[in-house]
Amino acid sequence: MALIVQKYGGTSVGSAERIRNVALRVAKWKAAGHELVVVPSAMAGETNRLIELARALQPEPDPREVDAVAATGEQASAGLVALALLAQGVPARSYAGWQVKVLTDSAHTRARIVAIDEARLRADLAAGRVAVVAGFQGVDAEGNVTTLGRGGSDTSAVALAAALKADECQIYTDVDGVYTADPRIVPEARRLHTVTFEEMIEMASAGSKVLQIRSVEFAGKYRVPTRVLSSLTDPQLPLAEEAQSGTLITFEGDPHMAMEKAVVSGVAAQRDEAKVTVHGVPDRPGIAYAILGPIADAGINVDVIVQNVSHDGTTDLSFTLSRGDLPRAMALLNDKVRSHIQCKDVTGDDRMAKVSIVGLGMRSHAGIAAKMFRTLAEEGINIQMISTSEIKISVVIDEKYAELAVRVLHKAFELEQD
């Protein structure tokens, strides 16, 4: 039988009743002979509540202490899931990240996993127990509790699956898979049976919220087949049916993948976007670094970057960033960068959206970009910036057109058809 790592999100463990359902589901897989490691998130809203408490006591709380506080949410969930399993007659033990141990670097609130000692988990599995490991957390070389950042429980689960060489990592959440578009925007959106790691990474970076991008990168690097399923279905659903449900995220060449991939697999929108334009900068070597270097040093992530054609020795440089970072970026550029580079002006717009189409089939089909641009033009949607990769085309547009763009592109590429 298989070794499976199951991760349950915050809504999946949001109440005693839902935790019992998790236990029933795990017990079903266990009864079929599978070895199980379970990774629960904190109960829905608990991490936010803990961080708000920390900020009530110290407006800019110490990151080390924030981690010590925030990690308790997942530890409570792990203990509760273990208790629910024991009540079902399933042998189980819960562990905090430092007990396993999940070794990380020392970047508090955004740590990265360095190594995992899976010996204790293997001993539990050999003894017939279900190991329940608190997600989202680890410990650094100095013994300090660390957390992996938002969505870190997904990363914990995939990392444990990689360390244990699990047959599959199953991510149970409040949606039943990955769709061709957000069903709230496009009611005709279709659930994908399979998608590659490459496509999932691009969809996550383009705004799909199903999985945290770091977990997908981790799964792709270590080739861990990962399945997204719903935890809100009947926990007594026949195992054969549940095992084939959801969306399997795997690698090109996997026998589960279709012989010929669709040209476009999905459309995604990222609405939390802002645009900054630095006008009239000298067109000389090093100017992009003079602008973006201080932005990077401040820990602000930049996405799409466009530099215009030079006129009279000057040019404009535009870039997008998270909307919440716009005030800080504008202040930094006006206070420290503007006088240094001698630009004419710095402007910002916080009403931007990024809309993307993603698909492996783009590699072998011409005219995809032209079709995308024509579709948007026919709806009067102006494209302000364009970014491409081998399997993704993104455009930056006015936020008010985001949902319309998703709908018309979904229809133009016939994504509602299986």
Selection from 370, 356, 247, 376 nearest residue 303 by Cα: 356
Per-residue pLDDT for 357 more than 70?
yes
Each residue's pLDDT tens digit, 23-69: 999 999 999 999 999 999 999 999 999 999 999 999 999 999 999 99
Per-residue pLDDT for 341 more than 90?
no
Distance between start and end Cα atoms, the chain: 32
Domain ranges in the chain are 3-175+210-250, 266-412
pTM, 2 dp: 0.85
Helices and strands (DSSP H and E) totals, the chain: 14, 18
CB atoms within 10 A of CB 351: 12
Six token digits for residue 51: 């961080």
Q: Beta strand 345-358 with 266-282: parallel, antiparallel or unpaired?
A: antiparallel
Per-residue pLDDT for 265 more than 80?
yes
pLDDT value, residue 259? 44
Q: How far is CA 11 from the centre of its chain?
A: 17
Tell me the pLDDT band of 258, cut-offs 50, 70 and 90.
low
**Matching fold, domains 3-175+210-250 and 266-412:** no
Helix axes 63-87, 16-31, angle to 10 degrees: 60
Widest pairwise Cα distance in the chain: 78
Q: Average pLDDT for residues 95-110, to the nearest whole number?
A: 95
pLDDT value, residue 365? 85
Beta bridge partners of 194: 248
Q: Which strand ranges, in their side-by-side order, compose the sheet holding 302-307?
A: 302-307, 314-322, 266-282, 345-358, 392-398, 385-389
3-state secondary structure of 400: helix
pLDDT value, residue 262? 73
State which of 24-28, 187-191, 218-222, 238-242 shows the largest mean pLDDT. 24-28
Six token digits for residue 353: 């959206």
CATH 3.40.1160.10 corresponds to the domain 3-175+210-250:
yes
Interatomic CA distance for residues 40 and 34, integer angstroms: 18
Tell me the pLDDT band of 387, cut-offs 50, 70 and 90.
very high
Per-residue pLDDT for 172 more than 50?
yes
Percent of the chain with pLDDT over 90: 73
Percent of the chain with pLDDT over 70: 98
Report, in angstroms and rounded to the nearest whole number, the Rg of the chain calculated over CA atoms: 23
Interatomic CA distance for residues 46 and 42, integer angstroms: 6
Tell me the pLDDT band of 208, cut-offs 50, 70 and 90.
confident
pLDDT value, residue 71? 96
Interatomic CA distance for residues 300 and 410, integer angstroms: 32
Superfamily classification of domain 266-412: VC0802-like (3.30.2130.10)
The DSSP element (H or E) to which 24 belongs, if any, is helix 16-31
Selection from 296, 315, 8, 282 nearest residue 136 by Cα: 8
